[in-house]
């Protein structure tokens, strides 16, 4: 039996969106006193809303095809841009309310001053700027790869590994890619780093192993002298799609593991390997996905078996909540953990000393370096994208980490 769609949340959301539109239009009509202003505004607003509702209602039949993606992204662009306009307009209205209240307190009649058309014009400029930012994020931002470098110092790093470099990418989500030339650009940037070691920290696909197949010839070109290693992420297990049987789901996971081999990645499944250099060793551990709310599969104790507290260890673990819950205070010290998963929600700001993304509501630390109890965590912002087919302010990342003695 097909699951019935609950219409109440959709209706409530539609009403809120239309009320937002009414408030925005009240400002536009003061700026543009033309009879066709409301007609054009409501045609665009209602068109985006109706298209989204149709896409959601028909989701079980049509899936997340092109119609759904266009409708969802057009609506998201309009919705966020309207919020920007409304917040700007509301600031002016709050000021007007304050002036009117001041008049009343002074013994005069309560009267609101006229809206400032210059402020409305600013609100409209910010609206169109927001639209352009979303368009850029959808067309270009999702492939705007950045190399982010960290030099990390460890007193217990073996001298032979002083200056050892690691390139990390995470969250490829191959099923979302549409532009082979842009993906190749990112891979070329990975290889250009000429790091000693390459690691991938999970979510190779969105749901199914077949998504990576068209991209094997691309990612298999990634090479490093000390090898290429990987772990699984929450999306790699196929938990978010319906399978005909559990056997099909298991077969999909096994196929994905086989594809890691074809890529030239050594998949670490609750295990470790030793990297040797000039008579010294570095322990590289990798566990299956362990994340609060995203499947607690990984077995850290199994991965640590036969390692010593004195060993210098680097752990690959997809979800940063694992570091918070099990790693950072583990008695068998793990000096460095490399994670991904958050994507920085593919939306936010990292400029002018500001670092913010909505994902902060879920993960207090969601990107970059964090240090506690003498252990360090790095969260990669992701190489690919999922859900929102774009990135705004949180760009796809290639991390280069240099280990230093000191």
Q: List domains and CATH numbers for the chain.
A: 7-139 (no CATH), 145-405 (3.60.21.10)
Q: Rounded to 5 degrees, what are φ and ψ at 277?
A: -150, 120
Mean pLDDT of the chain: 94
Lowest model confidence (mean pLDDT) among 110-124, 138-152, 176-190, 213-227: 110-124
Single out the residue of 212, 171, 172, 219 nearest to residue 191, CA to CA: 219
Distance (Å, rounded) from C-alpha 93 to C-alpha 98? 9
For position 65, what pLDDT does the model report? 80
For residue range 335-361, list pLDDT tens digits in order. Answer: 999 999 999 999 999 998 999 999 999
Distance (Å, rounded) from C-alpha 271 to C-alpha 352? 41
Average pLDDT over residues 208-218: 97
Distance (Å, rounded) from C-alpha 143 to C-alpha 177? 9
For position 342, what pLDDT does the model report? 97
For position 180, what pLDDT does the model report? 97
For position 199, what pLDDT does the model report? 98
For position 4, what pLDDT does the model report? 60
Strand partners, 402: 151, 165
For residue range 29-85, list pLDDT tens digits in order. Answer: 999 988 899 999 999 999 999 999 998 888 767 767 889 889 999 999 999 999 999
For position 191, what pLDDT does the model report? 98
Average pLDDT over residues 255-272: 98
Enumerate residues 6+ apart whose C-beta is below 8 A from 313: 272, 282, 283, 284, 285, 307, 332, 333, 334, 335, 336
For position 60, what pLDDT does the model report? 67
Strand partners, 148: 399
For position 1, what pLDDT does the model report? 38
For residue range 356-371, list pLDDT tens digits in order. Answer: 999 999 999 999 999 9
Average pLDDT over residues 276-291: 97
Distance (Å, rounded) from C-alpha 361 to C-alpha 312? 33
Confidence of residue 122 (pLDDT cuts 50, 70, 90): very high
Enumerate residues 6+ apart whose C-beta is below 8 A from 387: 346
For position 390, what pLDDT does the model report? 96
Confidence of residue 6 (pLDDT cuts 50, 70, 90): confident
For residue range 305-328, list pLDDT tens digits in order. Answer: 999 999 999 999 999 999 999 999
Query: Above 50 in pLDDT, residue 2?
Result: no
The pTM for the full model equals: 0.90
Single out the residue of 90, 150, 82, 185 nearest to residue 396, CA to CA: 185
Query: Above 50 in pLDDT, residue 233?
Result: yes
For position 109, what pLDDT does the model report? 82
% residues pLDDT > 70 (the chain): 98
Query: Above 90 in pLDDT, residue 19?
Result: yes
Average pLDDT over residues 260-277: 98
Task: Quote the Cα angle for 7-67-383, to 5°.
Answer: 105
Query: Above 60 in pLDDT, residue 3?
Result: no
Average pLDDT over residues 240-256: 96
% residues pLDDT > 90 (the chain): 88
Q: Rounded to 5 degrees, what are φ and ψ at 260?
A: -60, -40
Enumerate residues 6+ apart whose C-beta is below 8 A from 278: 160
For residue range 89-106, list pLDDT tens digits in order. Answer: 999 999 999 998 988 888
Total Cβ atoms within 10 A of residue 284: 23
Enumerate residues 6+ apart whose C-beta is below 8 A from 32: none
């Amino acid at each position: 039996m097909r699951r019935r769609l609950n219409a109440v949340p959709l209706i409530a959301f539609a009403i809120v969106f239309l009320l937002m539109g009414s408030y925005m239009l009240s400002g536009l009509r003061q700026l543009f006193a033309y009879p066709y202003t409301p007609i054009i505004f409501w045609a665009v607003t209602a068109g985006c809303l109706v298209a989204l509702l149709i896409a959601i209602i028909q989701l079980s039949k049509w899936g997340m095809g092109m119609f759904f993606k266009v409708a969802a992204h057009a609506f998201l662009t309009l919705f966020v841009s309207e919020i920007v306009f409304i917040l700007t307009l509301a600031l002016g209205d709050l000021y007007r309310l304050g002036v009117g209240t001041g008049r009343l307190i002074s013994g005069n009649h309560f009267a609101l001053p006229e809206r400032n058309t210059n402020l409305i014009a600013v609100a409209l400029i910010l609206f169109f700027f927001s639209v352009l930012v979303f368009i850029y994020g959808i067309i270009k931002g999702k492939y705007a790869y950045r190399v982010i470098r960290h030099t990390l110092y460890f007193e217990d790093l073996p001298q032979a590994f002083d200056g050892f470099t690691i390139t990390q990418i995470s969250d490829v989500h191959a099923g979302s890619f549409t532009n082979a030339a842009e993906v190749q650009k990112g891979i070329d940037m990975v290889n250009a780093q000429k790091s000693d070691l390459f690691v991938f920290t999970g979510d190779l696909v969105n749901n199914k192993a077949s998504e990576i197949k068209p991209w094997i010839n691309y990612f298999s070109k990634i090479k490093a002298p000390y090898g290429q290693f990987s772990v699984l992420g929450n999306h790699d297990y196929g938990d978010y799609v319906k399978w005909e049987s559990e056997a099909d789901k298991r077969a999909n996971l096994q196929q994905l593991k086989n594809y890691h081999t074809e890529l030239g990645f050594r998949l670490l499944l609750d295990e470790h390997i030793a990297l040797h250099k000039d008579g010294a060793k570095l322990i590289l551990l990798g566990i299956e996905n362990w994340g609060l709310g995203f499947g607690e599969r990984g077995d850290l104790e199994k991965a640590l078996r036969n390692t010593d507290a004195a060993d210098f260890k680097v752990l690959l673990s997809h979800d940063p909540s694992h570091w918070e819950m099990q790693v950072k205070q583990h008695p068998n010290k793990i000096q460095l953990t490399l994670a991904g998963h958050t994507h920085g929600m593919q939306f936010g700001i990292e400029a002018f000393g500001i670092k913010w993304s909505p994902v902060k509501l879920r993960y207090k630390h969601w990107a970059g370096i964090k240090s506690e109890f003498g252990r360090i965590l790095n969260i990669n912002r992701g190489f690919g994208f999922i859900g929102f087919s774009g990135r705004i302010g949180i760009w796809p990342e290639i991390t280069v980490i240099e280990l230093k003695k000191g």
